[in-house]
A and B are shown apart, each in its own frame.
Chain A
């Protein structure tokens, strides 16, 4: 019986694989602080965060890369009805905390914990700068142990100095899993050795959010050129969120991390045995019904593969794969074409 299809045996011809792909994402601080004269910084009338794009955001080719916002907990010493945008800063902190830290047994929103041991109490991050990375960059998640952020924490804004490099040192092997938003690591300023309890922030890998304690800037100056150079505390009480975000991004030097894409693939082993697929129904294959590639009945039939089609049981073409060049098939050859379909 002549046939054009071959049934795939699900036990022997189909295999599923899972691969983690990583991309390096380097972000230079000048993107956030001057390359496009802030035409790539989008602000909103609600003033609760600002967005950084990789190109002036009015352009259709601009990509959203991250958002910056800031807030403090209700038990922070900075929380006061006299503070500028006090309720919005409280709301931002609460929102981020309820998503990233979750609730305690009484249903109260928990605060960000400096060492990640929430249940043990200890130091809390009550004033925080949040950097929410776009899904476009983080993809499925950030790779543990790959996050680095450099900020300039001293000097006047016009001539900032003192680079502080913050990274999730040791997170490849040691990370926290007590967050409702997935796994997270502690951000440290030094790696050798890592001193427990000296973390300056948290990095949530699946959520793609970096939480930086405000105390990073406490002893230095955060204000940008348009503002009076002040420390974090003074800004948190005297400036709105947008100004604080402006200040932070102007002191941002570099951010880099690796993202992760979880690639689930199904590989179909399309096996053409020696006695299969040696003829063709290509209209040029016949001349007055005679096979062009044969002179006599003793010649071997020959065909050339350029395409593999994957079909449903009702003969609907569901996927197509192409070879880079025609592949000769005749009764003296057997071919296994591994067709990979990624999801």
Chain B
């Protein structure tokens, strides 16, 4: 008679992240673990083969054989995708967050990326700003033609048309988290009339902004069935609208451009820095990395 497997509990050794070490070193009580999340960064669900000829036991054979990397200690490099708790098990579709370039800011036609012109000299140079109006005016934010628009919803109309079917309330995002390198930029409302304050800036200079539909109304457009110019065919949640402004350092100095950026020609010779703005829905945890380029005339 064989022994029963008693290895039900799994013991894991944890490593502190750089932020964890920093908070521990502060000694001010800010190192306090309050919750946990489970991640699946290494998993490629495309390997799940629902039609495997050997049967259901083999559907995930390639997934469970995926090697797992050691822990990163950089807090921004790990747990990029998390497991989600939804008490219902009958969901076949989950909402996504998509950049809506139809009603929002489109990629610059030359750069093929969302572009921010960081200062007056760059904006006033018609050789640069005259190419297209698809840029963020970092000198006068209010003059930007359209904000960055992120729509939440279900792409497929298999469970109903988005103009008449409402996204389930428990899947609708009411709060978003935006992360951006604080050395480069900051977050403004969709009209470019006010800049918001980051909730915190971590040790890697990543600023995190929390925007809520209840307290940051100027950052949200019409939602659900009222949404127009949508990119989601199925039920829609909320629409986030915001702008990315340049930091004072980018506006007034070329230091970061020469240290971290490159040079190019965009109608005229320019400096440029490419970075990413990360938008995460706090409810579902779905996240999108939006590439963005800061441009400054040489």
Contacts and interface: CB of A to CB of B under 8 A. Distances in A.
A305 B40 contact: yes
A281 B10 contact: no
Nearest to B47: A284
Interface string A1-38: 11111111000001000000000000000000000000
Interface in A275-289: 275-286, 288-289
A305 B19 contact: no
Interface in A66-86: none
Interface residue tally on A, bucketed by range: 35 or more
B72 to A, nearest CB: 7
Contact of A1 (B16, B35, B65, B170): B170
Contacts of B73: 320
A241 interface: no
Interface stretch (B123-131, B184-192, B244-252, B278-286): B278-286
A181 to B, nearest CB: 26
A305 B9 contact: no
B43 interface: yes
A3 B15 contact: no
Contacts of A207: none
Given A4-B82, A281-B286, A292-B46, A298 B90 contact: yes
A293 B65 CA distance: 16
A294 B59 CA distance: 11
Interface string B70-91: 1111010011011111110111
Interface stretch (B107-115, B152-160, B267-275): B152-160
A278 B85 contact: yes
Contact of A7 (B34, B66, B83, B90): B34
Nearest to A278: B89
Interface of B: 8-17, 19-20, 23, 30-46, 48, 50, 59-60, 63-73, 75, 78-79, 81-87, 89-96, 154-156, 158, 170-171, 177, 199-200, 202, 234, 283-287
Given A293-B59, A328-B60, 12 more contacts: A4-B37, A4-B82, A4-B285, A281-B81, A281-B83, A293-B60, A303-B83, A306-B39, A307-B39, A307-B78, A319-B20, A340-B12
**3 shortest interchain CB distances as A-B pairs:** A307-B39, A318-B20, A4-B285
Interface of A: 1-8, 14, 266, 268, 270, 272, 275-286, 288-298, 300-329, 331, 335-342
16 contacts: A3-B84, A6-B85, A279-B91, A281-B84, A282-B43, A285-B45, A289-B96, A290-B158, A304-B40, A306-B43, A306-B68, A307-B68, A307-B79, A310-B35, A321-B15, A337-B9
